[in-house]
Chains A and B, each alone.
Chain A
Amino acid sequence: MKLLNYQAVYVMWLRQIKRFLRTKSRLASNFIQPFFFLAILGFGLGSARFAGMPSGIEYIDILAPGIIAMSILFPSVFVGLSVLWDKQFGFLQEVLVAPVSRLSIVIGRTLGGATTALIQGLIVLIIATVLGVSFQLSLSLILAFVFMVLIAFVAIGIGLIIASKMESIEGFQFVVSLFVFPLLFLSSPFSPLESLPSWLRTIAFVDPITYGVDGLRATLIGYSYFPIYINLIVLIVLSVVMMGLGSYFFSKSEV
Chain B
Amino acid sequence: MSIITVENLKKHYKDVKAVDGISFEVNEGEVFGFLGPNGAGKTTTIKMLVTLLQPTEGTAKIVGNDIKKYPDRIRNSIGIVFQEPALDDILTGKENLDFHARMYGMNKSKRERRVKEVLILVDLEERANSLVKNYSGGMRRRLEIARGLMHFPKILFLDEPTLGLDPQTRRVIWDYIKNLNKKERITVFLTTHYMEEADYLCDRVAIIDYGKILVIDKPSKLKNKIGKDVIIISCSDSKSCADLLKRERWVESVKVHDSNVTIGTKEIEKKLPLIMRMAERNNIEIKSIDIRKPTLEDVFLYYTGRKIREQEASGSEQLKRRFMHR
A interface vs B, CB < 8 Å?
Answer: 1, 5, 7-8, 10-11, 14-15, 18-19, 22-23, 89-100, 254-255
**In whole angstroms, how far apart are the Cα atoms of A99 and B73 in the complex?**
8
Evaluate contact between B90 and A89: CB separation under 8 angstroms.
Answer: no
The interface residues of chain A lying within 8 Å CB-to-CB of B88 are 15, 19, 91
Question: CB within 8 A of A96: which of B52, B87, B105?
Answer: B52
Question: CB within 8 A of A7: which of B76, B102, B147?
Answer: B102
| Residue among A11, A92, A99 with max Cβ neighbours from chain B (10 Å) | A99
With CB as the reference atom, state the residue of chain A lying closest to B98.
A11
Evaluate contact between B90 and A19: CB separation under 8 angstroms.
Answer: yes
**In whole angstroms, how far apart are the Cα atoms of A99 and B101 in the complex?**
11
Evaluate contact between B103 and A98: CB separation under 8 angstroms.
Answer: yes
Evaluate contact between A100 and B103: CB separation under 8 angstroms.
Answer: yes
B99 at the interface (CB under 8 A from A): yes
Evaluate contact between A18 and B95: CB separation under 8 angstroms.
Answer: yes
**At the interface with chain A, which of B29-37, B77-85, B194-202?**
B77-85
Evaluate contact between A15 and B99: CB separation under 8 angstroms.
Answer: yes
The interface residues of chain B lying within 8 Å CB-to-CB of A89 are 84-86, 89
- Interface set, chain B 54-68, CB cutoff 8 A to A: 54
Evaluate contact between B72 and A99: CB separation under 8 angstroms.
Answer: yes
Evaluate contact between A99 and B75: CB separation under 8 angstroms.
Answer: yes
Evaluate contact between A91 and B76: CB separation under 8 angstroms.
Answer: no
B127 at the interface (CB under 8 A from A): no
Q: How near does chain A come to B270, taking the closest CB pair, in angstroms?
A: 46
**In whole angstroms, how far apart are the Cα atoms of A11 and B100 in the complex?**
9
Evaluate contact between A8 and B90: CB separation under 8 angstroms.
Answer: no
Q: Given that A90-B86, A94-B82, A99-B104 are known contacts, is A254 also in contact with B91, CB under 8 Å in the complex? A: no
C-beta contact mask, B101-114 vs A, less than 8 Å → 1, else 0? 01111000000000
Q: How near does chain B come to A88, taking the closest CB pair, in angstroms?
A: 9
Q: Given that A18-B95, A100-B103 are known contacts, is A90 also in contact with B80, CB under 8 Å in the complex? A: no
Evaluate contact between A255 and B75: CB separation under 8 angstroms.
Answer: no
Evaluate contact between B52 and A254: CB separation under 8 angstroms.
Answer: yes
The interface residues of chain B lying within 8 Å CB-to-CB of A15 are 88, 91, 99
Q: How near does chain A come to B52, taking the closest CB pair, in angstroms?
A: 5
**In whole angstroms, how far apart are the Cα atoms of A95 and B84 in the complex?**
14
- Interface set, chain B 258-282, CB cutoff 8 A to A: none
| Residue among B51, B82, B95, B102 with max Cβ neighbours from chain A (10 Å) | B102
**In whole angstroms, how far apart are the Cα atoms of A176 and B104 in the complex?**
35
**In whole angstroms, how far apart are the Cα atoms of A7 and B151 in the complex?**
15
B313 at the interface (CB under 8 A from A): no
Q: A7-B102, A7-B103, A90-B86 are in contact. List 4 more A-B contacts (CB 8 A).
A: A18-B95, A96-B52, A97-B52, A97-B75
Evaluate contact between A91 and B87: CB separation under 8 angstroms.
Answer: yes
Q: Which 4 A-B pairs have the closest CB atoms?
A: A90-B86, A98-B103, A99-B75, A90-B84
